[in-house]
Structure 1
């Protein structure tokens, strides 16, 4: 279902397990700062991602117990392609991608930093494919550390 590309782009220092965040802004900021520290994005990335999320929300109601969000921003804020991932200690409200007036309680966030518009669309499709599996989402949310998250994703890549 998913390619190894998700694993390849998951920045080594950009996985937060059971992140305790007050709101969606704190989640995006935490993940964006990790991508910036890893040299993957420009200093403008975090604010651009926050601004984009406020205008074009990315909360996704999913089948199953957990929901997700896939925040991202324009390619000019990216140095090298990367993903950051957070599982949340408690649900954080993002706005629904389809109906922005609706709040979506999210426990899995994948922040995308892609350097080309085409690759951004392709990665969104790959991530959306992974998010179709409620059991996989539950395994990611339950994972106790970064190694466990990578193992879950490796299992998907092997399919």
Structure 2
């Protein structure tokens, strides 16, 4: 986890603007290729990543490892909800509060990472704590402890 890939109280007009911002930040950090944004956007249309996790809803946009230079997670807390399609029902829109953009370099690590993230997403109090964090370091420390376990 890198603190420079954690963004607090962001405001975006729509999903594409949010995905572009986060993709650009990952590219600036040399974590992903120039193709990353288009690939994430394209994948999101076919395989939505919005999750109805209760009061605090999340999205986990990601794409194929061929667009990734090295593994990373970018996190954005949103001051206004951004619509994502529901992973479970693509006809339904979900206004998400938190976005965890994944840059997965090794396909074998994707499933274990998603399992760890799902345990985070099922912890309602932790999601609230992340959403209401006042610093990127707070989020970084919370997630590092949980993802390393």
TM-score, normalising length: structure 2: 0.93
Query: Where do 5+ consecutive residues of structure 2 fail to align?
Result: none
* 1:105 corresponds to: 95
* 1:59 corresponds to: 50
Alignment partner of 1:137 out of 119, 127, 130: 127
Alignment partner of 2:18 out of 24, 27, 30: 27
Structure 1 ranges of 4+ moved more than 4 A: 154-159
* CA distances 1:111-154 after superposition (whole Å, capped 9, x unpaired): 00111222112211111111110000001111122122224335
> Structure 1 residues 153 and 93 mapped into 2: Cα distance closer, same or farther (>3 Å)?
same
Structure-2 separation of matches of 1:99 and 1:147 = 34
Alignment partner of 1:77 out of 32, 56, 67: 67
Judge which range, 116-125 or 75-84, deviates more. Answer: 116-125
Structure-1 separation of matches of 2:146 and 2:64 = 28
1:68 equivalenced with 2:58 (yes/no):
yes
1:50 equivalenced with 2:51 (yes/no):
no
RMSD of aligned C-alpha atoms? 1.6
Structure-2 separation of matches of 1:33 and 1:137 = 25
Query: Where do 5+ consecutive residues of structure 1 fail to align?
Result: 1-9
